[in-house]
Amino acid sequence: MELKRVVVTGLGAITPLGNTVAETWENIQNGVSGAAPITHFDASKFKTQFACEVKGFDASKYFDRKEVRKVDVFSQYAVAAAKEAIENCGIDLETVDKDEVGVIFAAGIGGMKTFEEEVGYYYQNKELGPKFNPFFIPKMISDIASGQISIMYGFRGPNYSTSSACASSTNAIIDAFTHIRMGKANIIVTGGSEAAITEAGVGGFNALTALSTRNDDPAGASRPFSKSRDGFVMGEGAACLVLEELEHALARGANILCEVVGGGMSADAYHLTATHPDGLGAKLVMARALKDAGLNPEDIDYINVHGTSTPVGDISESKAIKAVFGDHAFKLNISSSKSMTGHLLGAAGAMEAIVAILSVVNDIVPPTINFTPGDEDPEIDYNLNFTFNKAQKRTVNAALSNTFGFGGHNASVIVKKFIK
């Protein structure tokens, strides 16, 4: 079977750094942190009192007053990002064959705020009996964002959600890529969304000691590859890509941003929350992505790393890069956009794939912020180019994006410049 080529024709994003792709990308290039004290709830008694929240989001732009009450925040973000991506890709919604347009949209957790509110109300008012909002379940379930987008636009192609913790939306992209190259759809709207900056979300990750507690310096808290790193900074938002079969895109005169050429998946098979200390799963997933893409290690110019700013994860990922890329590891650029956006959990892979795509389009590698000379970790090789603190101009013909999730789920995707 001859596999079809898959290109990216649209992007959309709602992030802690902006409510559009352009605004987000501008802030990422300039090394702006999205971290600040939490405003979604009173966090004064929590170990971590800051996060990378979405700012100035107006749900009324996407839903009427009655409908918005039926939709959890994570789905609101998803619909907003999808709207931008669909408008950006320029498809004619009147003439496109909607039977051949799918939606594969991820969430690692889903409607956590809705779950908290409904279960909290029940236990506080048990004497009234079981009183629940009739939209409790459809607001909460993690697949509903994919369903919402499909319903809003009438897309009747493949439609489902992927859930693999922080690798969720990279898995969604890989699935969309696979469906299109096997001829099962012409276009797939894909990505991920998350809105877990809630009391249970922050409290739960605090209980795991996974979050930074640098409350006196939120903007400096996410510091991948620095010795003083003490955990990740939680983020929220959504990111969306429109993937399209090449001939379909050319026939309608689409603006092609780049080509998706490969994806890899693996498991650490090691621990519930920690990456393998030697990066075994990370090695496998990058090697598989390269093989799938038909590329050599020397073909990659930039890696957007998982780079969460956790003590173990940053070390194991840097080891894995050296193992897979050999001498070329010291010639490519590496950076963690999580140092600016925070960790978008189920939306992280899609957001970071967008960063990789825009690096390829613009020949700019964004920085890893918050590194200070003298804060080197003896277990990390600083001969690697982590693109510390300032974006770098270089030709980026191909970029790889890594995501690793709780449960040992690993996924990597590779994009490159489109050449007809």
- Catalytic residue chosen out of the listed positions 52, 89, 166, 258: 166
Return d(Cα 324, Cα 175) in angstroms, integer. Answer: 24
Q: Pull the structure tokens for residue 137.
A: 């379940």
Contacts of 371 (CB under 8 A, 6+ apart): 223, 225, 226, 386, 388, 389
Whole-angstrom distance, CA of residue 317 vs CA of residue 271? 16
Look up residue 299 and give its two tokens.
Answer: 């073909």
Hey, which bits of 203-273 come out as E strands?
Answer: 237-245, 258-267
Name the catalytic one among 248, 276, 343, 409: 343
Do residues 299 and 324 lie in contact, with contact meaning Cβ atoms separated by under 8 Å?
A: no
* 248, 276, 306, 409: the active-site residue: 306
Place of tokens 């050319």: 250
Instruction: Supply the DSSP string of 363-390, one letter for each residue.
Output: TEEPPB----TT---TTS-TTSB--BSS
Determine contact, residues 238/24, Cβ cutoff 8 Å: no
SS3 at position 87: helix
Reply yes or no on whether 179 is catalytic.
no
What tokens appear for 242 in the block? 């429109």
Query: 89 catalytic, yes or no?
Result: no
Q: Quote the CA–CA distance of 243 and 181 in Å, as a whole number.
A: 10
| Active site residue ranges | 166, 306, 343
